[in-house]
Amino acid sequence: MEDWGGVEDEEQEQYDDDDEQENEEEHDDLDVHPTSDDIDCFALDESEEEATLKLKPIDEQLEIQHEIQDFKNAVPMLGDDYKLIDRLGTGTFSSVYKAIDLRYHEWDNSPWLGHHPPASSAHYQSVPKPPGSRVFVAIKRIYVTSGPERIKNELLLMELCRGCRHVSQLITAFRHEDQVAIVMPYHRNEDFREYFMELPMPGIKEYFRCLLRALRDIHARHIIHRDVKPANFLFDPRTGQGSLCDFGLAQRFDSKAPAHGACLHTTMSKDDAHGKYRTKSEYNSDWVRSQQVAARKKSKTRAEFVGLCSSRYFSPRFSPVAVLMERTFSKIS
């Protein structure tokens, strides 16, 4: 696996300190949502968070309890480190559960906490939990229907995203037989449908500020999420903080790869500084003709058969031509 530690530190230094300060001043002027300087605002009500299952309908409670027990039976070592208390959501390839990390204070959590300065909107991610407090995590159970390569890719990209602002961090992951579980920090959020009609303009700005910073950071690591939607961006309107999650469809891209595309306009002229739009028949027509001429000169076959697209090629009568061109047209009736 690549060593991204140096890249994270370098990128962290390149974050716009002036931009961060300007945004914090905007927060102060608006005084709508708390800022990352007020660390207490991000503290969870432990008793309230632990009792969320009781607020759901009885039928749903029984269903969730059955799923939790099935999860614990499928992954026996789960109960040694985590206490599952509720279900956060379900998807096509996985389900996510809320749990209490029973051994949080026994481990070094600095690798996934990151190093976000106090001026950063993601500073709350770097603040360790006070000793003796209950720490909530989100455990993602990946279904066996998900392919091994997909699981491997998701874990790899989450590892590369360590240190990104407003991105769900990878704490750990483990496998038992065909069961895979991914442990991430728990981020309090509300259903997008519950608040999007009433979210004020300052809240909308905070929503997109967190989302765009998350995308900016993962793009700096040459990662495309490919599944950005409200369900995959956990936003808390009370604090104005969001977290991008679910990298199941994400992919890496090569920023140095050339992008070849057709030029849709002519060259500039006195009358048209930006050129004129070409019709579809004009796209690369000169280039195609030049390639056909070059092919005719190099080919060993008869010139009238090169560069032509005729149904005659598909006739068995022209099988010698098909052989010379290394094609299998003779098999087509």
pLDDT in tens, 36-77: 445 455 567 778 888 889 989 999 999 999 999 999 999 998
Residues 38 and 172 in one domain: yes
Q: Is residue 274 part of a domain?
A: no
Q: Is residue 281 part of a domain?
A: no
Q: 159 and 20: one domain? A: yes
- Choosing from 189, 215, 242, the residue where a domain stops is 189
Distances (CA, A) of 245 to 2, 33, 211, 218, 248: 22, 22, 11, 12, 9
Final residue belonging to a domain, choices 189, 207, 233: 189
- Which one, of 307, 331, 1, lies nearest residue 160 by Cα? 1
Q: Dihedral (C-alpha) 160, 92, 232, 101: value to the nearest 10 degrees?
A: -70
- Is the residue at 278 inside a domain? no
Q: Is residue 252 part of a domain?
A: no
Catalytic residue flag (residue 31): no
| Domain ranges, residue 322 | 301-333
Residues 160 and 309 in one domain: no
Q: Does residue 33 lie within any of the structural domains?
A: yes
Q: Is residue 289 part of a domain?
A: no
Which domain-ending residue is among 189, 207, 236? 189
265: left (phi over 0), alpha (psi -120 to 50) or beta: beta
Q: How many domains does the chain have?
A: 2
Give kind and range of the element (H or E) at residue 185: strand 179-185
Set 29, 70, 108, 227: catalytic member: 227
> DSSP E strands: which ranges in 53-93?
82-90
Same domain, 181 and 330: no
Three-state DSSP class for residue 109: coil
Neighbours of 73 (CB within 10 A): 11
Distance of CA 111 to the CA centre of its chain: 20
| Confidence (pLDDT) at 254 | 79
The band of 186, judged by pLDDT with boundaries at 50, 70 and 90, is very high
Structure confidence by residue, pLDDT tens digits, 108-133: 888 888 888 888 888 888 888 888 88
Q: Which of 10-24, 140-154, 267-281 has the highest mean pLDDT?
A: 140-154
CA-nearest of 114, 204, 129 to 165 is 114
* Residue 213 or 22, more confident: 213
Round to whole Å and give the CA distance between 284 and 97.
54
Contact in structure between 242 and 214 (CB atoms under 8 Å): yes
143 vs 156: CA distance, rounded Å: 18
Residue 31 region, left (φ>0) first, then alpha (ψ -120 to 50), else beta?
left
Q: Give residue 73's pLDDT.
A: 93
Residue 37 domain flag: yes
| pLDDT of 82 strictly over 90 | yes
**Band of residue 281 on the pLDDT scale cut at 50, 70, 90:** low
Q: Is 310 helix (H, G, I), strand (E, B) or coil?
A: coil
How far apart, in whole angstroms, are the C-alpha atoms of residue 234 and residue 243? 5
Highest mean pLDDT among 41-50, 124-133, 260-269, 290-299: 124-133
Q: How many helices (H) and strands (E) does the chain have?
A: 12, 9
CATH number at residue 51: 3.30.200.20
Rounded to whole angstroms, how far apart are CA atoms 183 and 185?
A: 7
Place of tokens 């605002």: 41
Check if the beta carbon of residue 166 is closer than 8 Å to that of residue 210. yes
Residues 161 and 310 in one domain: no
Inside any domain, residue 207? no
CA distance 47 to 295: 76
